[in-house]
Chain A
Amino acid sequence: MEKLLDIKNLHAKVGDKEILKGLNLSVNPGEVHVIMGPNGAGKSTLANVIFSHPEYQKTKGSIVFKGQDITNKKTNEIAKLGIFMSFQQPEEIAGISVFNFIKTAKNKLSGAPVDFFELKDEIAENMNALSMQENMQNRDLNVGFSGGEKKKNEILQMLELKPTLAILDETDSGLDVDAIKTVSNGINMFLNSDRALIIITHSTKILEKLDNYFVHVLVDGKIVHTGDKSLADEIDKHGYSTFKGK
């Protein structure tokens, strides 16, 4: 089976500071990979580096997605290949409605026109599943949204833009119990045997509905340990201290 994502010996820095120091990660279709690790280990950096965030320089290694080397591709080209990222802090864009934004993004991703009414219905349905108020699609993108609303809006975009690989960067942080349930519902709606997820998180709550997944412990720019579901429970109990210094 061809790997969906294959990251090899990835090094990346911000300014002079090296953050990723030889990271390896492979993801196959249908899999969920959970990345955990102490603050500052490089979890969010990994998400941003996959997406060629202009602030980070990749100094070594490669990222291959669906057999294509995307190491030096532009952010929007990477998105077009089918990767999505749920932002830790989604940006507020005044004057552009959620609906128009999704419509434009879909159009850019597929290069084809989008049927207005079909999209309207589809968004309404997904919003309903995510316990979002339907009129939110007419509001300016993320402007004045609560933290929870912003995160749900990210999941909504994930469901609408239909990527093959979605990276959720601490989507669950700052959410109340109900919102976490909603988000994990969204994750279940998204997953199928062709798609994969990378979930960056500090907590296992968002994972409760998932049968199985990989857990990677990221410390100091490298994945130092990989395990299954049980590893997440262990981290929940004991923290990261046992993985440090390895």
Chain B
Amino acid sequence: MAKTQLEELNRNIYDFKNPDDYSFKAKGGLSREIVEDISRRKNEPKWMLDIRLKALETYNKLSLPTWGPDLSELNMDEISTYVQPKTEMKDKWEDVPSEIKNTFDKLGIPEAEKQYLAGVGAQYDSEVVYHSIKADLLKKGVIYTDMESAVREYPDLVREYFTKCVPLFEHKFIALHYAVWSGGSFVYVPSGVELDQPLQSYFRLNSPESGQFEHTLIIVDKGAKLHFIEGCSAPKYNKVNLHAGCVELFVKEGAYLRYSTIENWSKNMLNLNTKKAIIEKNGKVDWVSGSFGSKISMLYPMSILKGENAKTEYTGISFAGANQNLDTGFKVVHAAKNTSSVVNSRSISKNGGIATYRALVKILPEATNSKCSVSCDGLMLDSLSKSDTIPVNDVQTSDAEFSHEAKVGKISEKAIFYLMSRGLSEDDAKAMIVRGFASPVSKELPLEYAVEMNRLINLELEGAIG
């Protein structure tokens, strides 16, 4: 069955665009006036405005990174940092304006909610337009709402954690993020509460020459369990769009969080996203990450193993086609004893695309008896494409096991011939090899998303063969 779906793909699924219709769109550029205006429109407390202004000041001081892809084409004067859609947040899909609802219908979000999600958030440009959670979870004290509501309704909780995982001075684009952040999801799972179905937030950027700066803050309290899914997409425009979101994850003692992402940006997007988790004793975070689309991505999720026995696994795949430079990887800091991390990264490049795995492993002196195993594979579909591995390993104790395995290679002509001898066309053969290569990631995804990821792989492969 999955096979049939793969072939019925419609390349316009993600590319449709709605008219740039908004109730407010900030003029391009970044200034104190714009930042204050965003804060005023959100009716924020002063402490939040102070964070924004501090971030703006930091942004102006910091320079662009001197490593990685060239970001010089980004002209902040042309980017609108805040686009307010023509609606308030709703908790029923019927109440969402039809044009926006249609967008999410096409992306399959309401259907997914009916079938297998415990809660859904949907953001359109800068604001969350829909949020809902199953009633029984509310009773158990689970909070799942948009970030603005959280600031208003749970100010103490938000204030305790906001910026505490990803500080605003960490790099230029996180400073930018904190100056103009808007939307995103807030999740709190109380001690001992286990969610059997995932929560999902979907971020759609429709407006041209604009940025999306959603902030996701998740706290999984002691012994609690959560699977959170994040999806992102945007239609293609001629000028660059910017995505500089931030994800802060706090996983308490014995808690578990699975954070799955499929990012499928249009090829004019600069995706400079920052994600980090702080994991306490016996806690675990599993990252599953699929990076598709975007012109440039710089995306390095990070786990800080803060407590004893804390664990993390990262399973990621990126697919770079023509004119794409995907610089992705994983960072982990082992900061306590008996901690462990497993990294499994795959990258695919074709038609001159550049896929780089850039990573950091840091094992601190106190992290005795820790284990880290990294495996990264790059598959190039032609000789124009590039795949590279740039690991930084900093192991400060001799009492730790660390292994790093990297393989980069071209797709095997022999394997293509073998599959063709069984009746598969050259394209089908390549797609099968690539899907197989990607399977360590798709296996980690819920079925519906695995199908979606295979569909994206097929989309990327279309016309790949000259």
Contact = CB atoms under 8 A, between A and B. Distances in A.
Given A76-B420, A107-B3, A95 B440 contact: yes
Nearest to A111: B423
B412 A79 contact: no
Given A104-B3, A140-B436, A161 B413 contact: no
A207 B426 CA distance: 35
B46 interface: no
Interface in B123-182: none
Interface string B408-439: 00001111011111111110110011011111
Interface of B: 1, 3-4, 412-415, 417-426, 428-429, 432-433, 435-440
Given A93-B432, A95-B440, A113-B4, A79 B422 contact: yes
B439 A75 contact: no
A157 B424 CA distance: 14
A93 B433 CA distance: 7
Contacts of B432: 93, 96, 101, 104
Contacts of B440: 95
Given A79-B421, A79-B423, A161-B422, A94 B437 contact: yes
A63 interface: no
A142 B65 CA distance: 45
A95 B425 CA distance: 19
Given A53-B417, A54-B417, A109 B435 contact: no
A94 B413 contact: no
B256 to A, nearest CB: 26
B428 to A, nearest CB: 7
A205 B17 CA distance: 67
Contacts of A90: 418
A240 interface: no
Interface of A: 51, 53-54, 74-76, 78-80, 84-85, 87, 90-96, 101, 103-105, 107-109, 113, 116, 140-141, 157, 161
A95 B422 contact: no
Contacts of A101: 422, 432
Nearest to B422: A105
Given A53-B417, A93-B433, A113-B4, A76 B439 contact: no
A94 B433 CA distance: 8
A51 B429 CA distance: 16
Given A87-B421, A95-B437, A104-B424, 14 more contacts: A53-B417, A54-B417, A76-B424, A76-B428, A85-B421, A87-B418, A93-B436, A95-B436, A96-B432, A104-B432, A108-B422, A108-B424, A108-B428, A161-B422
Contacts of A109: 422-423
Contacts of B425: 74, 76, 108
A75 B413 CA distance: 13
Closest 7 CB pairs of A and B: A95-B436, A95-B439, A75-B420, A91-B418, A105-B422, A109-B423, A108-B423
A93 B220 CA distance: 39
A91 to B, nearest CB: 4
A74 B412 contact: no
Contact of B417 (A75, A103, A104, A105): A75
A76 B418 contact: no
A105 to B, nearest CB: 4
A140 B4 CA distance: 21
Contacts of B423: 76, 79-80, 105, 108-109, 161
Given A91-B412, A91-B415, A157 B422 contact: yes
Nearest to B2: A100
Q: Name the residue in B3, B418, B429, B438 with the highest tally of chain A Cβ atoms < 10 Å from its Cβ.
A: B418
29 contacts: A54-B413, A75-B420, A76-B423, A76-B425, A78-B421, A79-B421, A79-B423, A85-B421, A87-B418, A91-B412, A91-B415, A93-B415, A93-B418, A93-B433, A93-B436, A94-B437, A95-B435, A95-B437, A96-B433, A96-B436, A101-B432, A103-B3, A104-B3, A108-B422, A108-B425, A108-B428, A113-B4, A140-B436, A141-B436
Q: Name the residue in B3, B4, B422, B424 with the highest tally of chain A Cβ atoms < 10 Å from its Cβ.
A: B422
Nearest to A81: B423
B436 A51 contact: no
A142 B102 CA distance: 45
Contacts of A74: 420, 425-426
Contacts of A104: 3, 424, 428, 432
Nearest to B432: A96
Contacts of B415: 91-93
Contacts of A157: 422
Contacts of B438: 95
Contacts of A141: 436
Contacts of A84: 421-422
